[in-house]
Structure 1
Amino acid sequence: MKNEKDKFTIAARIKSFKYAFNGLWKFFKFEHNARIHLVAAAIAILLSFYLEISATEWVAILSVICAVFVAEIFNSSIEKLADVVSPEINPQIKTVKDMAAAAVLITACLAILIGGIIFLPKLF
Structure 2
Amino acid sequence: MPMDSKDKRTEKNKHFVASLEFAIQGIKTVFKEEHNMRTHVVMGIVAVIIGFVFHLATWEWLWLLLAIFLVLVMEIINTVFENVVDMVTDFHFHPIGKKVKDMAAGAVLLTTGFAVVVGLLLFVPKIWQILQDFL
Q: What TM-score, normalized to structure 1?
A: 0.91
Instruction: Say if 2:84 is the partner of 1:90.
Output: no
Secondary structure of 1:88's counterpart equals: coil
Q: Deviations over 1:69-91 (max 9, x none)?
A: 01000000100110000121111
Is 1:73 the counterpart of 2:76? The answer is: yes
Structure 2 counterparts to residues 26-45 of structure 1, below 5 A = 26-45=29-48
| Separation (CA, whole Å) in 1 of partners of 2:56 and 2:116 | 16
**Residues 37-72 of structure 1: CA distance to partner in whole angstroms, max 9, x if unpaired?**
011001100000000010000000000100000100
Q: Distance in 2 between matches of 1:109 and 1:76?
A: 18
The answer on whether the counterparts of 2:13 and 2:19 sit within 8 Å (CA) in structure 1 is no
Rg (Cα) greater in structure = 2
Alignment RMSD, CA only? Answer: 1.4
Matched AA of 1:74? I
Q: 1:108 aligns with which of 102, 108, 112?
A: 112
Higher relative contact order (CA 8 A, sep 6+): 1
Task: Determine if the alignment matches structure 1 residue 58 to structure 2 residue 58.
Answer: no
Q: What secondary structure is seen at the aligned counterpart in 2 of 1:109? A: helix
TM superposition shift of 1:25: 0.6
Give the aligned residue type for 2:76: I
- The list of structure 1 runs, each at least 4 consecutive aligned residues, that deviate by more than 4 angstroms after superposition, is 5-8
Aligned residues: 117
Q: Which has the higher helix share?
A: 1
1-side partners of 2:31 and 2:97: how far apart? 24
Deviates more, 1:108-117 or 1:86-95: 86-95
- Structure 1 residues 6 and 109, CA gap change in structure 2 (3 angstroms): closer
Supply the distance in 2 between the matched residues of 1:53 and 1:88 (Cα, whole angstroms).
Answer: 48
Amino acid across the alignment from 1:54: A
Cα distance in 2 for partners of 1:74, 1:20 equals 13
